[in-house]
Amino acid sequence: MNYPDYVKDKKDEIIFKFLSNVADHYDKNTFWRKSQHALYKRKFANIPDSFLIKSLLDYLTHQMTGHTKFVPTVANVSEYVQGQTGFMKHWLSVPLDKEYCRHCRTDEIGKSGGWRTIFFYGMRGDTKRMGELIVSAKCDCELGEKLTGAGYETVMMQLLNSDPNAEVAVDRYDQQLGRKIQARHLTNYHWDQILARGYVRYGIAEAGEDTDRLYPIWESPFWITPEGEVAAGLYGWTIPEHIAQQIPHQNLTAQHKHGMLRRIRKDIQNDGYTGSVPQHISGNIARDMGDFF
């Protein structure tokens, strides 16, 4: 096939062939073809070639019947392509060769995301009292930067300016753990709260324990409650037999059990307990902020 000079790559060829068919069908000239080409290129640049070929062939076969009077617009064709099985919404917004970074992506393949969550604990400007605050701000990765709004570093600085003694942290992906760590879990405030509940403690070096890990305090009355039993299971700890015997089981209805399980799961998810406290929190936040500048 002989292509005009504006057909430069595979995508151009696919679009050119399609438009040639449409032009023949509706008796359109080469000027129309060229002007349409630019529109189609912009619209379909991000759609994988194989999917585009299949969809456009489908269109020519099923939509371009003899009795259709109106020349399809790029919007008509695009709508048809988007309606095809297997169409991915992110093709409309995220370039094929780009993805959101590990820290901000909200799906497996990095085609959605862009926002970071910031946790603040300090003197709140609105209430003039100590309190928590959770805000979102855009990520500093290439795709995140394209979103509108303030960057997370700027927002963190503003929060720290509002109360220099506040704890401020941003969520991030931990390579070692292989998962995202919530911003809250990167503050001393959060872990102090967990410790204050009195049923866990840090390891003791003298006892040969890992000082970065949390250990159960079996003496806590928490462990002889049904909630404690469920929590131990979720934390991955086995309650010693003499304590387990004291847990009342008899008068829980199935519904109560279910509700309780759900509540505790949620609590533990919120705690984000992973068996070890991120190293990060042992430093002070001001130093951690230093990474950003």
Smallest distance from the beta carbon of 156 to Zn ion, in angstroms?
15
Whether residue 104 contacts residue 117, with contact meaning beta carbons closer than 8 Å, is answered with no
Q: How far apart are CA 235 and CA 232, in angstroms?
A: 5
Is 118 near Zn ion (CB under 5 A)?
A: no
What are the phi and psi torsion angles at 104 (to 5°)?
-120, -10
Q: By CB under 5 A, is residue 104 in contact with Zn ion?
A: yes
Which residue of 14, 15, 101, 214 would you call a contact of Zn ion, by CB under 5 A?
101
Residue 100 or 273 with smaller CB distance to Zn ion: 100
Is position 278 an interface residue for Zn ion (rule: CB under 5 A)?
no
The 142-161 site mask, x for binding Zn ion (CB under 5 A), equals: --x-----------------
To the nearest whole angstrom, how small is the minimum distance from the Cβ of residue 107 to Zn ion? Answer: 13
Nearer to Zn ion, 78 or 112 (CB): 112
Cα gap 11→95, rounded to integer Å? 14
Report in angstroms the alpha-carbon separations of 84 from 51, 55, 58: 9, 7, 9
Asked if residue 141 binds Zn ion (CB under 5 A), the reply is: yes
Distance CA 122, CA 132 (A): 7
Closest to 274 (Cα-Cα) out of 190, 169, 208: 190
Helix/strand/coil (H/E/C) assignment for every residue in 209-235: CCCCCEEECCCCHHHHCHHHHHHHHHH
Of residues 133, 212, 116, the one with CA closest to residue 173: 116
Total interface residues for Zn ion by CB under 5 A: 6
Interface region with Zn ion, contact rule CB under 5 A, candidates 35-43, 101-109, 126-134, 171-179: 101-109
Shortest approach of Zn ion to residue 8 CB, angstroms? Answer: 32
Residue 170 is a binding residue for Zn ion (CB under 5 A) = no
18 or 100: whose CB is closer to Zn ion?
A: 100
How many Å apart are CA 37 and CA 43, to the nearest integer?
10
Query: For Zn ion, which stretch binds (CB under 5 A), given 100-108, 122-130, 160-168, 263-271?
Result: 100-108
Shortest spacing between CB 139 and Zn ion, in angstroms: 3
- Neighbour-count burial of 274, counting CB atoms closer than 10 A to its CB (0-12 exposed, 13-18 middle, 19+ buried): middle
Q: Shortest gap between Cβ of 100 and Zn ion (angstroms)? A: 5
Among 139, 160, 186, 239, binds Zn ion (CB under 5 A): 139
Residue 177 CB, shortest distance to Zn ion, in Å, is 18
Binding site for Zn ion (CB under 5 A): 100-101, 104, 139, 141, 144
